[in-house]
Structure 1
Amino acid sequence: MNKKKKFVILFISLFLVLTIAIATVLINSVREESAPIDDKFAQSVEKPDYHFAVIAPSSYDPFWSDVKKGAFKAAREFNVAVEFNSPRFTNLDEELQYLNIAIASNVDGIATHVPDETMFTPVINNAIKNNIPVVTVESDANNSGRMAYIGNNNYEVGTVGGKMVADATDGKSKVAIILNGYIPDAGDVSQNLRVTGFKDAVKSYKGKVDIEEIRISGMGIFSAGEIANELITNNPQINAIFCTNPRDTLGVTQMVVDLNKVGQIKVVGSGSYPEILRYIEKNVIYGSVVSDPQDMGYKAIRALVELKTAKRTSAYVGTEVYAVTKDNVAALSTGDTGK
């Protein structure tokens, strides 16, 4: 009996050791194949030819996580080092600090988000003065010395949004537009282009689309929700809201749900966060203006490489903008999110 017990214990022990060994090998294999790139820094395997800095508004925003993926993909392809810096949450002063640090570090090139053109223009010009090429990503500083802008055609963003609002309301709507502003009262040219595109898009519809209100949200999801609450409460004629930012889209949608206005108020948003796509599938959000942030990140690094090697690049590098509604949301739901 004792021998039998010893044999059983030995067999179980060997089985456990073998199981742990196999699990360890499998886990290490998966880690090697799919290990995430370091949140802040990515460097090619070989000695990098250049060291670039990317400055983004938030490390918690899925959109900018996808921009980072694209930038890191380009880093490997072009054999460059890319340092990706951003505040945890949107903070203009921290973004400026990262930009100044990149200049002081004498990096070979900078790709930066621009939350406020007035404040960022002199810093960008200082980088150019120090022979550091700068490209802007997603938001522009057109009056600065930046070499290129990589991102959406903001007029087209407004056009796509305007067409969806008109379609959602059969060309008859009283609409509120909520623009995202990192500084609530900032005069953002790109945002104005979105409004212009929206206005031009709805002109061609036989019905009547009137813009009742244009508001600028602050930081975070609650600001847009609060604005929506005020708009809906004080303007009962409003039957559509267009948002130009994913977080604002979710804030407005939540308020529409809370006020039991689903179906009565058509929401057209921006971005392809998973929550936004689910709301579209459930007919809570009519549609969303979607772009490709990974493409932005990739093209930003490519532009910097071109500026270093060929001394030139295109001044404007566009990325695709398109409408997502219930008709095509299923295809996007199976792909990358955060766009």
Structure 2
Amino acid sequence: MKKYVLLLSVNFMLLLAVVFVTSHSRKHGEMLTCRFTFVSVPADNEIARGVKKADGELGTDTRLRGLRRKDDESQARLLRWAAYSKVDGVVTSGGNDQDGDLARRIEELAQQEIPVVTVEEDIENASRAAYIGPDPAEVGQKMEKMASDCLRKTERTHENVQSSILLLADRAGNSTQERWLRAFRDAASSDDALQDIRILVGSCGVEEAEVRHSIRQLLSDYHGISVICCFSTAASEHLGKLLSEESSAGEVSALTVGMSDRIREDVEEGRTKGTVFWDREREGYEAIRMLKKQLSRNPEEMASLQTVRSNAQQDMPTVYLPVYIADMDSLPDQKKGQDHELEWDLQ
């Protein structure tokens, strides 16, 4: 009998301890374990490494869900799945949301009090909780500086043809890339070296075949292109290779965004002249940290968040990451990632 009484007493004390810890956590806006989902289309190992590093250091648990190729419709479907699965928060990249489907999916999550943090490319006018990514003004300004430097070093081989800079984006509707392009034009308007240079804008898609077709068509339509500035991280993966194979490209200088292994190799081998980049691993880390702060509901934590006025005229917590430029002589040390350890749920 005494054993049973003692066992019941121990169990009762353990139950009281669990109740105390849970109530204390809720009282202070904390959660025992935060369950997040990173929806990435296509699957992005660089950002995912930062996400999993944050899991290890912050005690969160994030599932990696993605596609092998970019597909906005499937991205919206994965966001809807996140709403059904009742996760505590979502990280996702923005992109081309012309029909507003991604914004609607984020609105559904917000209505369920599931915060969404966008990384790299924002989804403007959506009810996202925060944005983590490069400063749009810096991306455009740094790209313009590299383009201007390329033109100064390039001899004009066709004196009767006006030199041109071609700005490439995924396609119409990508609000983040449009802001990068706008910052480029603003910087170019006050650059004496570019006053007589024609600035063209084209779209290129994201898959290799799409980029190849677009490059061929644009080089055929416009003569005198001296520099191509690619503002799409996905298309930047293919640009150096395609231009090296395209005879009509001639002495065109290519500039990209990002610092993947392939983009780095293109710069090292001289297929591209340089790249604009930021710490994409830190993007993932900061996104998870931001979600955890959002869920804490701790007034001190919330007050520490930097806010930026969004298009919806609301103060939105934002982390702008520093933006850098690199050419063949200034490439940073290569990060050794362990991508084989990333467990993706690929659709």
What TM-score range do you get, normalising by the shorter chain?
0.7 to 0.9
- Tell me which residue corresponds to 1:192: 178
CA deviation vs aligned residue, 1:113-144 (integer Å, no higher than 9, x gap): 22234221121111111111111111112312
Partner Cα distance (2:287, 2:131) in 1: 8
- Tell me which residue corresponds to 1:179: 169
- Tell me which residue corresponds to 1:267: 254
- Tell me which residue corresponds to 2:245: 258
Alignment match of 1:294 (pick from 255, 264, 281)? 281
Alignment match of 2:191 (pick from 198, 201, 205)? 205
Partner Cα distance (2:248, 2:215) in 1: 11
More displaced, 154-163 or 287-296?
Answer: 154-163
What residue identity is the alignment partner of 2:241?
Q
Q: Call closer, same or farther: CA 1:50–1:191 in 2, change over 3 Å.
A: same
Q: Secondary structure at the match of 2:152?
A: coil
Written as runs of structure 1 = structure 2, the 5 A alignment for 1:21-60 is 49-59=33-43
Q: 8 Å contact 2:95–2:176 — kept in the other structure?
A: no
Q: Secondary structure at the match of 2:82?
A: helix
Partner Cα distance (2:335, 2:52) in 1: 19
The reply to whether residue 325 of structure 1 matches residue 327 of structure 2 is yes
Partner Cα distance (2:198, 2:336) in 1: 33
Q: 8 Å contact 1:58–1:90 — kept in the other structure?
A: yes
Written as runs of structure 1 = structure 2, the 5 A alignment for 1:86-125 is 86-117=66-97, 118-125=100-107
Q: Secondary structure at the match of 2:87?
A: coil
The reply to whether residue 310 of structure 1 matches residue 290 of structure 2 is no
The reply to whether residue 128 of structure 1 matches residue 110 of structure 2 is yes
Q: Call closer, same or farther: CA 1:255–1:69 in 2, change over 3 Å.
A: closer
What residue identity is the alignment partner of 1:283?
G
- Tell me which residue corresponds to 1:79: 59
Q: 8 Å contact 2:277–2:325 — kept in the other structure?
A: yes
More displaced, 120-129 or 247-256?
Answer: 247-256
- Tell me which residue corresponds to 1:227: 214
CA deviation vs aligned residue, 1:45-77 (integer Å, no higher than 9, x gap): xx9611111111112xxxx20111100111111
Q: Call closer, same or farther: CA 1:109–1:211 in 2, change over 3 Å.
A: farther
Gaps of at least 5 residues in structure 1 are 1-46
What residue identity is the alignment partner of 2:46?
D
Give the TM-score normalised by the residue count of structure 1: 0.77
CA deviation vs aligned residue, 1:258-294 (integer Å, no higher than 9, x gap): 2346772111111122232222223321100111111
**Deviation for aligned residue 1:199:** 1.1
Q: 8 Å contact 2:132–2:321 — kept in the other structure?
A: yes
- Which gives a bigger RCO, structure 1 or 2 (Cα 8 Å, sep 6+)? 2
Q: Call closer, same or farther: CA 1:276–1:303 in 2, change over 3 Å.
A: same
Q: Call closer, same or farther: CA 1:206–1:171 in 2, change over 3 Å.
A: farther
**Deviation for aligned residue 1:336:** 4.6
The percentage of aligned residue pairs carrying the same residue is 23
**Deviation for aligned residue 1:250:** 4.2
Partner Cα distance (2:101, 2:76) in 1: 8
- Over the residues paired in the alignment, what is the CA RMSD in angstroms? 2.3
Q: Call closer, same or farther: CA 1:56–1:322 in 2, change over 3 Å.
A: same
Partner Cα distance (1:263, 1:205) in 2: 26
**Deviation for aligned residue 1:211:** 4.2
Q: What is the number of residues matched between the two proteins?
A: 282
The reply to whether residue 167 of structure 1 matches residue 149 of structure 2 is yes
CA deviation vs aligned residue, 1:176-198 (integer Å, no higher than 9, x gap): 111023xxxx4222121111111
**Deviation for aligned residue 1:254:** 2.7
Partner Cα distance (2:250, 2:138) in 1: 26
